[in-house]
Amino acid sequence: MTQKTAGKIRDIKTLEGIAKEIRKYILRMLTEAGSGHTGGSLSAADVAVAIYFSKMNFNPDNPKLKERDRFILSKGHAAPLLYSVLAKAGYFDIETLLTLRKIDSSLQGHPCCETVPGVEISTGSLGQGLSVANGIALGLRLDKNPARVFCITGDGEIQEGQIWEAAMTAAHYKLDNICAVVDNNGLQIDGPVEEVMRIAPVHDKWTAFGWNVIEIDGHNMKEILAALDKAEAVKGKPTVIIAHTVKGKGVSFFEGKVEYHGLAPSREELEKALKEIG
């Protein structure tokens, strides 16, 4: 376990190193808990690390800082990712991660804003995060607060109709202080996204709803940083980053396997995975 990381980091190798640490935390806590969501926590790790450690303004010693940027994990089942990032950022001790899903732990299967410092809203009911992000963004505008709102959704999640109502709303109100990210890993609990409920063409849909759209390799830190910079520079409309990712990224025997959507690693798998991550 390492000490917290703070500040806006732009060095790609440093960010890649943090992403490896985050993946190790995720795997350790899931194995200890014996349950939880492996695939989607690992797939969004690079994007979440880039957002928190290269872009966001926050203060773990003052979680309610007025000028803080806000992060909404709309795909709340990927809570191990959010908890790992918050611990690395210094909101609570890293050792707390090993209490995931245990009785009396603040770190339950979905994030709770009442018990976990740094969690802006309780999430888990899919499709709702972007609507909340809109409300926060509108409130910031009314307060003349320059803070930004980041919202990560899943690709299976954007099958939800509420996402598209929120997409219309953000474009209508020209919420350029919002940056949404679609963790486009191609798999959901019941199988391939395109077989469960086709979402393609994703780029064209968001464009039609009035958003600035950027497509990237969601595991290429250079592309992620460039996309976040572009999103911040766009005025007059919200931006969505479609991050093409791999379910279970970082561990070869988890990658692209739908069964690891909600399956925790065994002790044996954990040891193999930690060696592979390096």
At 79 the pLDDT is 98
Location of structure tokens 């899903």? 101
Which CATH number covers residue 242?
A: 3.40.50.970
Number of compact structural domains in the chain: 1
* Domain assignment of residue 98, yes or no: yes
| Pairwise CA distance, residues 5 & 224, whole Å | 19
Q: Which domain holds residue 71?
A: 12-277
Alpha-carbon gap, residue 178 to 276, rounded angstroms: 36
pLDDT per position as a tens digit, 33-73: 999 999 999 999 999 999 999 999 999 999 999 999 999 99
Rounded CA-CA distance 260/254 in Å is 6
* Residue-wise DSSP of 114-148: TTSTT--S---STT-HHHHHHHHHHHHHHTT----
Whether 212 is in a domain gets the answer yes
Residue located via tokens 């991660």: 97
**What is residue 57's predicted lDDT score, i.e. its pLDDT?**
96
Query: Looking at the domain assignment, is residue 37 inside a domain?
Result: yes
User: Measured between alpha carbons, how far is 84 from 96 in angstroms, rounded to an integer?
Assistant: 10
- Predicted confidence band at 3 (pLDDT cuts at 50, 70, 90)? very low
Sheet holding 178-184, edge to edge: 70-73, 149-154, 178-184, 239-244, 212-217
Summarised one tens digit per residue, pLDDT across range 82-127 is 999 999 999 999 999 999 999 999 999 999 999 999 999 999 999 9
- DSSP characters for 150-189? EEEEETTGGGSHHHHHHHHHHHHTT-TTEEEEEEE-SEET
Within a domain: 2: no
| Structural domain contains residue 214 | yes
Task: Identify whether 23 is part of a domain.
Answer: yes
